[in-house]
Amino acid sequence: MSALPRGLTIRKDAGLYGYERALRRVGLDPVAGVDEAGRGACAGPLVAAAAVLPEGRRGQVPGLADSKLLTPRARERAYAEVLRRALSWSVVVVGPDECDRLGMHIANVEALRRSLARLDVRPSYVLTDGFPVDGLDVPGLAMWKGDRVAACISAASVIAKVTRDRIMTRLHEDYPVYDFLTHKGYVTPTHNTALALHGPCEVHRRRFVNVRRAEGYVGPDNDDDAMTSQLEVGR
């Protein structure tokens, strides 16, 4: 899952829908995009989503872009349009306990795989953001910053981001001392201060070093997940 079909090239100015159009021209249709939100957060769930957009004007979603580049209001509008227009879409929520049990990379790949498996429409090709998803029975391509260059990945990123933000907003009502409403569980100075004052709650991920430190224990420094960047601001 690492290359475009032989002989297929994409022009740099092809636009957000260029990959899907090119893949359809060689008979690979439908094309699914998949992305996740919350991989770099130290609290709350990991959310993965998959989306298949239709061909033509119906599949051109107004205001669609990488979810991180949109304002919350614009994301909500794009989310509604994606759900209205998509041939198929799915979302998977992985709780903090499962993230801790599997480790973030494994949990992330598994969530992406599950979201693709839940699509009502079987894709002929899969575009993923960042790294490949192993174990699929269809070909695909892992794309650097794919949520900025492929519409189906952008659509998936919007679904995942809006779904997770809504979950974190509800968690803020249960755990207001952490201010999840503002930072959505990512590592920020405000979040770290709250952790230092109150310790972690049940929705914090114990593999992250700042959470373990707040709990009074920091294990060996060879745990990749525990050493996830303290400054990461994610989707």
Per residue in 22-51, pLDDT tens? 999 899 999 999 999 999 999 999 999 999
pLDDT digits (tens, 9 = 90+) for 170-224: 999 999 999 999 999 999 999 999 999 999 999 999 999 999 999 885 544 434 4
Distance CA 93, CA 85 (A): 22
Alpha helices in 148-227 (DSSP H): 151-174, 180-183, 189-198, 209-214
Over the Cα atoms of the chain, what is R_g? 18
- pLDDT tops 90 at residue 226: no
Of all residues in the chain, the percent with pLDDT exceeding 70 is 86
> Cα 117–119–123 angle (5° rounding)?
85
pTM (2 d.p.): 0.88
Is the domain defined by 18-165 classed in CATH 3.40.50.150? no
pLDDT given for residue 11 in this prediction: 63
Cβ pair 163, 49 in contact under 8 A: yes
pLDDT given for residue 213 in this prediction: 93
Provide the Cα torsion 114, 18, 77, 74; round to 10°: 110
Predicted confidence band of residue 229 (pLDDT cuts 50, 70, 90): very low
pLDDT given for residue 235 in this prediction: 39
Which amino acid is residue 133, in one-letter code? V
Provide the Cα torsion 93, 198, 100, 39; round to 10°: 50
Mean pLDDT of 155-175: 97
Distance CA 127, CA 46 (A): 19
pLDDT given for residue 137 in this prediction: 85
Q: What share of the chain is helix, strand, coil (3-state, %, to 5)?
A: 40, 15, 45
Distance CA 51, CA 67 (A): 14
pLDDT given for residue 135 in this prediction: 83
pLDDT digits (tens, 9 = 90+) for 105-115: 999 999 999 99
Cβ pair 47, 36 in contact under 8 A: yes
Report which DSSP code applies to 146: G
- Burial of residue 30 (CB within 10 Å: 0-12, 13-18, 19+) is buried
Q: Where are the domains of the chain?
A: 18-165
